[in-house]
A and B are shown apart, each in its own frame.
Chain A
């Protein structure tokens, strides 16, 4: 048995200094951004002033959560090749975002993806339905992030869970409340740069132990833990399960409200396109790095040590950082993980707040009749509501197993947001009733089936056998959502909507009239 030499869990001075430096810099940026955040376009969309490259960095920042950094590295450390299969699923949704969604979304929308769904259809019913899908996605994602944040920070810094959740909540509320999208974007950009450079450095330090040759690293892993770690293991046991998870990850990515919202921050479709190219490259690079990090931890730290800290292996990257770079580097990586959580929850909160204010308050309650200042004020109140909710949910789900909530968020996103968005862009005869029925079917099926699935029914509710056999419901809920959309639209012709389709093309394809 190897002896465990680590300062993980103790107060790490380097970590605290770096983290507070990050908070100080980002709050200074927020102060600067606050002066430029007065109109709705500034609050929701950074006045469309973000370049394609910057938005690419910010998109990757939104997507590379602490869960994917620590979780996937841990999964690779404990299971080897299977961790790679998992990260591939998270990446391949991005090309789909580019081919089907990014540019039409940019050209047709204003601040939220519901703008696009409601473009030709009746505002109120469609906005209400898409807000439900949107808010469910954001809230489940937020719960997973907040609970993860609390327990991670507890381990990393030795702070109590509650304090960690409150700090994360308050700092992220400050970003969004005062600095709107401009501050949130720059927090994402800084975090993405920190995370990517930290992970790159960690890989270089690791490979230095293996003559800078990844093949030597993989060979060492196979010699220590047999060839099994370099081959697919038990990740795919039931092919339907694998396909269903694949659908949720791929199509779900193209329906995440906080990701879609980012396309309104760039000036035009060309920059939207460029931002997906940059984001896909950075996220792919990051997943390849986490694969090396996982193998580094497997060999240099050892699987027994990694799993002794956390069953899921979440501490693998941090233990490796300490092993190759000492206490200071551990502190750096820990601070980066903290910063990552802050940035992701800020993005989610902004997106939830825009749904509340822009979709529900302005377009449903006020029927589109508000002034600029009024809408910004409402958006700020909505930020306080969503931010407060995030803190309350983070506190009340303490100690609960919330890992499935990310899967649930992706399932809802792929079954309610994605079908209505794609059909509203590409299908002339899509109707209001079709959209509402599709969203209601997709989101409720996703929630009901996941409760009845092994993930919740057996693992959490401790029933002996699941009523619904698949771990992820997307294959059913997404298909049902599309089918219902088509059937209901065929039954309820909406002349006004289909007449507008030709004019919409002018905006979808040529960007004429785009905001």
Chain B
């Protein structure tokens, strides 16, 4: 692969590339924080306010059941949201920048 190193330097310092990196980090870190807050929030609920999860929402069914299973589903949905974002938005910018670098 022959890449012009001046050109690479130009790209790396370009607004477009910096934007891409910034967006990528923002999305990754935001989603990580959301996942960690949901999980550790659940653990803190268990530690300090267990009664909340024992609240009955049916004859015997407790609020803890939909919340617990909900966290599993939520974790999967988060990976889905990330995948969707990355497949449409992120990959498009990556393609453009790659073309700029590899064509020159």
A contact set with B: CB distance below 8 Å:
81, 84-85, 87-89, 91-92, 94-96, 98-100, 103, 215, 218-219, 222-223, 227, 230-232, 235-236, 238-239, 242-243, 246, 250, 270, 273-274, 276-277, 280-281, 284, 287-288, 291, 426, 502-503, 505-506, 509-513
When C-beta atoms are compared, the residue in chain A nearest to B39 turns out to be A92
When C-beta atoms are compared, the residue in chain A nearest to B84 turns out to be A277
B residues 56-98 near A (Cβ < 8 Å) are 56, 58-62, 64-65, 68-69, 71-73, 75-76, 78-80, 82-83, 86-87, 91, 94, 97-98
Partner of B69, one of A84, A96, A277: A84
- 29 residue pairs of the A-B complex, CB under 8 angstroms, read A84-B65, A84-B68, A88-B68, A88-B72, A92-B35, A92-B39, A92-B75, A94-B75, A95-B31, A95-B75, A96-B32, A99-B27, A99-B28, A99-B31, A103-B86, A219-B58, A219-B61, A242-B46, A250-B36, A270-B86, A277-B83, A280-B76, A288-B69, A503-B8, A503-B12, A509-B17, A510-B94, A512-B3, A512-B98
Question: B87 to chain A: which residues have CB within 8 Å?
Answer: 270, 273
Question: B50 to chain A: which residues have CB within 8 Å?
Answer: 231-232, 236
Task: Using A238-B47, A277-B82, A506-B12 as known contacts, list a sample of 15 further A-B pairs with CB atoms less than 8 Å apart, ordered by residue number in A.
Answer: A88-B42, A88-B72, A94-B75, A95-B75, A95-B79, A98-B79, A219-B61, A222-B60, A230-B61, A231-B64, A232-B64, A239-B43, A277-B83, A288-B72, A426-B25
Q: Which of A92, A239, A273 has the most CB of B within 10 A?
A: A92
Question: A503 to chain B: which residues have CB within 8 Å?
Answer: 8, 12
Question: B76 to chain A: which residues have CB within 8 Å?
Answer: 277, 280-281, 284
Decide if A235 touches B101 in the complex (CB within 8 Å): no
- The interface on chain B, measured as residues whose beta carbon lies within 8 A of the other chain's beta carbons, has a size of 57
B54 touches A (CB below 8 Å): yes
Partner of B78, one of A95, A235, A243, A274: A95
Q: Which of A235, A246, A277 has the most CB of B within 10 A?
A: A277
Q: Determine the distance from Cα of A454 to Cα of B82 in the docked complex, in whole angstroms.
A: 39
Question: A85 to chain B: which residues have CB within 8 Å?
Answer: 46, 68
Q: Determine the distance from Cα of A222 to Cα of B32 in the docked complex, in whole angstroms.
A: 36
